[in-house]
Amino acid sequence: MKDAWYGDRRDLVKWGTLVHLAHSEQIRTVIQVAFLRKGKRPPLRTDQGEVRIAQEVWQHLRDVNLIRGLGKKAGLDIVVLDQEFDPKQRREYIREVAYFLKSRPEKKVVLLDPDTGIEPKKALPEHVRVVDIQELWAALSQGGWLVLYQHASMQTDWREVTRAKFAKACGAKEIKTFEAREIAWDVAFFAANKR
């Protein structure tokens, strides 16, 4: 997830989904695997030329860790894995996340939050690979949920395609879908329960 996209309308659907799922399943821990990539900081354009947006403004409005405050209000422990994601070091990143998930044996909701979602045919930096999902699914505790952020693709049946691919990656028979098309028509969340 690029930091510049934090706090947009899709985050309403994202955190609405995660809080609902945690509450309905009586889970107290939500872990966001942010796949965080630093975006460019465009300048503020003025009549006198370009100026840099103040660091304190940028940090306040682009700090993915601010979501922890929602956890306090919702009675949840929200953990953000915010280490920077370098696609060239993808293997190590996934290993570290898997190790972290294993170190937290409680039942939890884990969000995979890449910029775009699951890889189409080839993984770009904005995707999570099928093999990554398989490794993180294996690290997930019994009773936990793995949730995938998916942005719309050019295919009209992108929801069905993603649901099937995610189900196969997890080896899950049932996948729950969460959407709010009135807020963000171009995003869906797919969730699998590890029984």
User: For 21-49, what is the mean pLDDT?
Assistant: 92
pLDDT interval class at 63 (50, 70, 90): confident
pTM of the model: 0.90
Maximum Cα–Cα distance for the chain, whole Å? 61
| pLDDT score of 61 | 72
| pLDDT above 60 (res 127) | yes
| pLDDT above 80 (res 8) | no
15-24, 64-73, 138-147, 159-168: least confident range: 64-73
| pLDDT above 90 (res 109) | yes
pLDDT interval class at 169 (50, 70, 90): very high
pLDDT interval class at 5 (50, 70, 90): low
Dihedral (Cα; 130, 137, 109, 193), 10-degree rounding: 100
pLDDT interval class at 66 (50, 70, 90): confident
Phi, psi of 111 (to 5 degrees): -95, 125
| pLDDT above 80 (res 7) | no
Q: Please provide the DSSP assignment of 94-163 as one string.
A: HHHHHHHHHH--S-EEEEE--SSEE-SSS--TTEE-HHHHHHHHHHSPTT-EEEEEEE--SSTTHHHHHH
pLDDT interval class at 32 (50, 70, 90): very high
| pLDDT above 90 (res 59) | no
| pLDDT above 60 (res 1) | no
Phi, psi of 74 (to 5 degrees): -95, 0
Locate the domains of the chain by residue range. Answer: 3-193
| pLDDT score of 40 | 78
Nearest one of 131, 27, 3, 139 to 79, comparing CA atoms: 27
**CATH of range 3-193; options 3.30.70, 3.40.50, 3.40.720, 1.10.10:** 3.40.50
